[in-house]
Structure 1
């Protein structure tokens, strides 16, 4: 028995669009698929939750037990990004100040919800058990150690870790040479 949906089953889920060579676990939970765009060569493992507006580009892996809460503003994940296991990405969250009530069972006029798009750039890798909050722009090549708490936007080609995250050093760009070789091998034309 295959643990991933077949192409026919993926089409029946009702995504806004879904590419080729997509592997989504049958053990994942998908809410509002009509708001989701899935590119080519994407893998989403067991027990992941995808909810709301989400755009996933090409050659992306989302590991087991991760949760993406896109809400109405959405989450956008660029090519070659890697979301490790147990990562939580929120584009929407309740107000924790105590000024309003919280949770989805409370009517909107009794609570204050923060909703902002989350952007995850090309070649970003987010380590296991990390959390990304609404409005974060994670620029190309960002690397985040396990248990990182990402509450603000980050610099490109940098290595971060911690609670909250702190930049440790610059990240090497050698992988861009490998990307060109990889694309050449697959016959993928470079963008101009």
Structure 2
């Protein structure tokens, strides 16, 4: 992965050999950041992974939009960060080869602030901001913004309590 034309690769930042990066020229990988084996990153219009942050194996950033992951963020195994999605309710299709007029893709920036922890297999929807130190339990579906230093869980992303500050 040494030859990828990244927008920026910081000191000791690492992309494991079995990771897949699409549009690497839009990816900023800050100091000590890690993209593990079996991750998929579609850098879209712009993707930043901050200092000491990591994408664990099987994590994914996709959708073609913008993802901004600040410092010290842990994206656990199998997490999906969606920066874009198809409108399937408004009379459109989501198939990749149909004519453009039959598809409507909405892209929106995802922000994950410093010290956040995203639990195993959680899904982050387009347009979401996750506050500093916020945490999701495994399998949480995040469709709304999350408050700082708060723990969330479940399909409905319920507020479960406060998280101790780091």
* Deviation readout 1:5-52 (Å, 9 max, x if unpaired): 4xxx2xx20001110111211101110001111100011111100002
Find the aligned partners of 1:105 and 1:75 in 2 and give their Cα distance: 25
* TM-score (normalizing by structure 1): 0.82
Q: Secondary structure at the match of 2:144?
A: coil
Higher share in strand: 2
Find the aligned partners of 2:132 and 2:79 in 1 and give their Cα distance: 18
Higher share in helix: 1
Find the aligned partners of 1:169 and 1:115 in 2 and give their Cα distance: 31
Shift of 1:104: 2.4
Residue in structure 2 matching 1:131, options 99, 114, 123: 123
Find the aligned partners of 2:106 and 2:36 in 1 and give their Cα distance: 28
- Report the counterpart of residue 47 of structure 2 in structure 1: 54
Shift of 1:96: 2.5
Q: 2:131·2:149 contact (CA, 8 Å) conserved in 1?
A: yes
> How many residues are paired up?
164
Higher relative contact order at CA 8 Å, sep ≥6: structure 1 or structure 2?
2
Q: Secondary structure at the match of 2:151?
A: strand
Q: 2:72·2:114 contact (CA, 8 Å) conserved in 1?
A: yes
Residue in structure 1 matching 2:160, options 143, 168, 184: 168
1:137–1:151 distance in 2 versus 1, CA, 3 Å: same
Q: Is residue 23 of structure 2 the alignment partner of residue 44 of structure 1?
A: no
Q: Is residue 12 of structure 2 the alignment partner of residue 15 of structure 1?
A: no
Shift of 1:97: 1.4
Runs of 4+ aligned structure 1 residues displaced above 3 Å come to: none
CA RMSD of the aligned region, Å? 1.1
* Deviation readout 1:98-154 (Å, 9 max, x if unpaired): 610113222322111111000000000000010000000001010100000001111
- Report the counterpart of residue 62 of structure 2 in structure 1: 69
Q: 2:63·2:107 contact (CA, 8 Å) conserved in 1?
A: no
Could you say which structure has the larger radius of gyration? Answer: 1
Q: 2:13·2:31 contact (CA, 8 Å) conserved in 1?
A: yes
Q: 2:63·2:85 contact (CA, 8 Å) conserved in 1?
A: no
